[in-house]
Amino acid sequence: MYVCLCLGVTDHQIRDAIYEGCCSYRQVREATGVGTQCGKCACEAKNLVRHTIHDV
């Protein structure tokens, strides 16, 4: 599922970034570019990061 349409970032890519060592939304944003264009996906991306980090 696409979280960020501007850059075509999927939930899978966000999870992978966390499994590969990102431990904050900021790091995920830097690794994937999510939320760096229009910013509409930021809220959803943050929630996904929060939930995924909680599960790791």
Q: Is there binding between residue 41 and ligand FES (CB under 6 A)?
A: yes
Q: Is there binding between residue 53 and ligand FES (CB under 6 A)?
A: no
Q: Is there binding between residue 43 and ligand FES (CB under 6 A)?
A: no
Among residues 8, 37, 43, 50, the one that binds ligand FES under rule CB under 6 A: 37
CA distances from residue 56 to 6, 15, 28, 41 in whole angstroms, order as listed: 27, 10, 15, 22
Question: Given CA atoms 47, 44, 15, 33 in this order, what sign does their dihedral have?
Answer: negative
Q: Is there binding between residue 40 and ligand FES (CB under 6 A)?
A: yes
Backbone angles phi, psi at 8, to 5 degrees: 65, 40
Residues at the site binding ligand FES, with contacts judged by CB under 6 A: 4-6, 34-41
